[in-house]
Structure formats: C-alpha cells, structure tokens
C-alpha cells in the first residue's frame, strides 16, 4: 500500500473504448476558466476511515504568464507528509519548475527540476539518518503538449469535456522525475456520496500511467467541483469534507 500511495502523490500525491476527442485548444480553455486563485481541500480515506488530507491550490501570475501551484498532502498512520510547489505555463500547462519534499518517517525524498532548453532538468535524492544520501539526475524532454501532472487535478474542474469525449497528452510526473502518456475520458454521469452528501457528477477516467484515477466532478457554471478522487486498485481515495452545518 505504501508503494501505491507514494506513486499516487506525484501530485497529487496517480485499453480504453473509442471516444470522441475534445477540441485541440482544451488547454487554454481549461486554464482560462480557472479563477485567479483557489484550492482543492479533500480528506484522505483509507479502508473507510479518515486518515489525512490533500490541499492542492493555485494562483494565476498574470505578469509572469504562469499558473503557480502547491500541494500539501498527509497520511497520518504512515507518517507521510508531502509538500510541493511549482509553476506551469498559463496557456499551455507546460512544466516550468517544481520542488518536492516527501517525508515518510525519518526519510526525506527531495525533487528539484526546472525547464532548460526544452528539457526538465534536475535531481531526485533520498536522505535518511545513518543511511546516507542517494541521488539521481532528472533529464526529461518536454514533448509537444506536455503538462505537469499536478496541474491535471486542477484543470479537472474546467476541462471542456462532455460524456464520451476524451483528451490525450504527455505529462511530467514530478515525484518520479519521469514522463508518461495519459488519457482523460468523461466516462459517465453518476450520482455518488462523498463526505456524507450526495452529488450528481461526471466521472473522469484518468488512464495510462500508474496510479490510475477516477475523478468525480460536479457541473456548476463551467467550474466543476472535485468531490472525490479514487486510487484504482487500492482501498483509498480522497473525498470532500462534510458540508458545514448551518448555525
């Protein structure tokens, strides 16, 4: 389970039927629909028990033409805590830079990477008391249309997908320091329960790289609220906190 969760935090930190493709300009449309700033705040559920949280937020930097993001994710029982900061291009979602600190017990994984001459360049290191430090270089070509993995969960709120449509692209997964190819498909409209409330949602299937996810989003004036993220094959998911009770 630990290994699966380590992979799923690559942001947080995760054979399809034929579907219609969304328009080619989905990236700019999705980013333009995001508010200037915001945050996804979900509780982490393991074996039906709440045991942590995820805070994944963003701020649009108009002057720099970037979308700056952060992640704070915690799994209490396993002493796991992740912090991440980074930036992507505000029109293309291309990765620009990222910094990750992943703590588990007394071990710390650090990742630093930035865009240089068409590549994400940097290093990953694992440090442990009395265990020394192990390091590996990162050098990943930024392919045409590549996006940052963490940004995918932000734009799930604004992806211009109707049921049956899909988009495919490459991404840079910061925790692993590697590239992959994924497809997001708006699979179905479904009613779910999350945080003790009932939501009418669209289930977005994120497939192609492990861990794979189902992302459940509401549909509200173009900005869809992410109310649940399933980690496929594992007894764990993120979901909305219970709605605040009226005084």
Instruction: Give domain limits for the chain.
Output: 2-14+17-240
User: Where residue 44 falls among pLDDT bands split at 50, 70, 90?
Assistant: very high
pLDDT the model gives residue 220:
66
Q: Residue range 95-104: average pLDDT?
A: 97
Instruction: Check residues 14 and 197 and name the one with the higher pLDDT.
Output: 197
pLDDT the model gives residue 246:
55
Position 163 pLDDT exceeds 80:
yes
Instruction: Check residues 158 and 18 and name the one with the higher pLDDT.
Output: 158
User: Where residue 3 falls among pLDDT bands split at 50, 70, 90?
Assistant: very low
> Which residues, in sequence order, are bridge partners of residue 228?
216, 239
Position 18 pLDDT exceeds 60:
no
pTM of the model: 0.88
Q: Residue range 127-134: average pLDDT?
A: 90
CA distance 45 to 31: 29
Q: Residue range 138-160: average pLDDT?
A: 96
pLDDT the model gives residue 47:
94
């Amino acid at each position: 389970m630990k290994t699966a969760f380590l992979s799923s935090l690559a942001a947080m930190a995760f054979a399809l039927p034929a579907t219609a493709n969304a328009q080619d300009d989905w990236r700019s449309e999705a980013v333009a629909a995001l508010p200037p700033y915001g945050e996804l705040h979900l509780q982490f559920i393991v074996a039906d028990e709440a045991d942590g949280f995820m805070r994944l937020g963003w701020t649009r930097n108009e002057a720099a033409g970037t979308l700056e993001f952060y992640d704070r994710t915690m799994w209490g029982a396993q002493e796991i805590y992740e912090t991440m900061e980074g930036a992507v291009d505000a029109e293309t979602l291309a990765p620009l830079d990222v910094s990750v600190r992943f703590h588990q017990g007394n071990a710390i994984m650090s990742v630093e990477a930035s865009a240089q001459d068409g590549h994400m360049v940097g290093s990953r290191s694992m440090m442990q008391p009395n265990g020394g430090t192990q390091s590996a270089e990162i050098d990943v070509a930024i392919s045409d249309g590549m996006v940052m993995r963490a940004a995918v969960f932000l734009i799930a709120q604004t992806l211009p997908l109707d049921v049956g449509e899909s988009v495919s692209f490459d991404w840079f997964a910061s925790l692993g320091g590697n590239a992959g190819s994924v497809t997001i498909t708006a699979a179905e409209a479904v009613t779910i329960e999350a945080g003790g409330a009932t939501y009418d949602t669209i289930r977005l299937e994120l497939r192609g790289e492990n861990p794979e996810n189902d992302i459940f989003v509401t549909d509200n004036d173009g900005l869809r609220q992410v109310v649940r993220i399933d980690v496929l094959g594992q007894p764990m998911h993120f979901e909305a906190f219970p709605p605040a009770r009226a005084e």
